[in-house]
């Protein structure tokens, strides 16, 4: 049945799911704190992936090299999502998302510097546009509607750290997936990341407030990952991954339409450059 559905449609649904998850994160993190939100989201994702893996008979990483890399991937991913949620709790989605969406650039740079991935003129141009767009948003974008929130520097650094740590978690997950399964490795990694964030919670944060929203975010994030995994064996699977990168557009538009976030014209230009460039980098790199 899935063969009759265009591959790009899976990517579009994944982008919608990720965009909605990040939109909900704005509510959850500002009301209940980034640490508790991240812990519940990651823990819920771990349970979801674990349940699907068990139902399909997919193997889990053991106490070996695969298990070690699943643990490291989870710690990197957990630290990254914590940075990301902290950033969006301090600034508008239209400010944070374009900066965090530069992650394809860091992935391609790592592949080029470490794995010998060849650079192409078009790829270099897309990378330059992405970085320039993020720089425009960071410099001229509206951080919060009243411009009375946190200073720009920490938010920009948190968003960049989130992008880099996300890429690190992906590369660290490679040996874990090779030694077990994608679902099993994801389950172990998410649980590890959840435990990391639980350890950072203060006593007053160990409550059930915000749990339903964070669990909804976990379901949306998990759905996006599963949609990509459903077509990963197709020859054109890279198309779904590229299309899923449009999640930033979904989140920014929801922030503008639903939350009424203030966006100046120059910031729109930076948003289009950063997100459009990131999607182009993904397309060329694939």
DSSP state at residue 181:
-
In which domain, by residue range, is 208 found? 7-285
Count structural domains, the chain.
Answer: 1
In a domain, 86, yes or no: yes
In a domain, 61, yes or no: yes
Buried b (16+ CB within 10 A) or exposed e, 163-175: bbbbbbbebbbeb
Copy the structure tokens of residue 166: 């996300």
**Distance (Å, rounded) from C-alpha 21 to C-alpha 274?**
20
Who has greater pLDDT, 5 or 78?
Answer: 78
Copy the structure tokens of residue 131: 């970085």
Residue 260 phi, psi dihedral angles, 5° rounding: 70, 35
In a domain, 1, yes or no: no
pLDDT, tens digit, for every residue of 91-117? 889 999 999 988 888 887 887 788 777
pTM reported for the whole predicted model: 0.86
Q: State the pLDDT confidence band at 5, using cuts at 50, 70 and 90.
A: low
In a domain, 2, yes or no: no
pLDDT of residue 285: 65
Who has greater pLDDT, 20 or 247?
Answer: 20
Mean pLDDT of 189-210: 75
Mean pLDDT of 40-59: 91
Closest CA to 138 of 180, 168, 94, 178: 94
In a domain, 31, yes or no: yes
pLDDT, tens digit, for every residue of 233-281? 565 556 666 777 788 888 888 888 888 888 888 999 999 998 888 888 8
């Amino acid at each position: 049945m899935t063969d009759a559905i265009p591959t790009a449609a899976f990517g579009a649904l994944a982008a919608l799911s990720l965009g909605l998850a990040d939109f909900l994160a704005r509510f959850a993190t500002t009301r209940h704190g980034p640490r508790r939100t991240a812990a519940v989201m990651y823990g819920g994702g771990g349970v979801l992936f674990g349940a699907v893996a068990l139902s399909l008979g997919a193997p889990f990483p053991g106490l070996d090299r695969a298990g070690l890399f699943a643990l490291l991937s989870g710690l990197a991913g957990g630290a990254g999502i914590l940075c990301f949620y902290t950033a969006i709790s301090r600034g508008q989605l239209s400010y944070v998302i374009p900066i965090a969406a530069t992650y394809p650039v860091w992935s391609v740079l790592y592949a080029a510097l470490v794995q010998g991935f060849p650079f192409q003129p078009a790829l270099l141009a897309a990378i330059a546009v992405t970085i320039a767009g993020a720089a425009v948003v960071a410099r001229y974008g509206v951080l919060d509607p009243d411009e009375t929130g946190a200073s720009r520097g920490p938010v920009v650094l948190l968003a960049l750290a989130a992008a880099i740590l996300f890429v690190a978690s992906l590369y660290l997950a490679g040996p874990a997936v090779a030694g077990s399964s994608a679902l099993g490795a994801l389950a172990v990694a998410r649980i590890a990341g959840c435990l990391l964030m639980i350890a950072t919670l203060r006593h007053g944060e160990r409550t059930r407030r915000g749990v339903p929203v964070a669990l909804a975010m976990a379901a949306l994030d998990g759905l996006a990952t599963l949609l990509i995994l459903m077509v990963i064996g197709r020859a054109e699977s890279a198309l779904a991954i590229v299309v899923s990168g449009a999640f930033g557009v979904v989140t920014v538009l929801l922030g503008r339409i639903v939350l009424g976030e203030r966006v100046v014209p120059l910031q729109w230009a930076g948003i289009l450059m950063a997100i459009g460039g990131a999607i182009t980098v993904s397309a060329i790199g694939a």
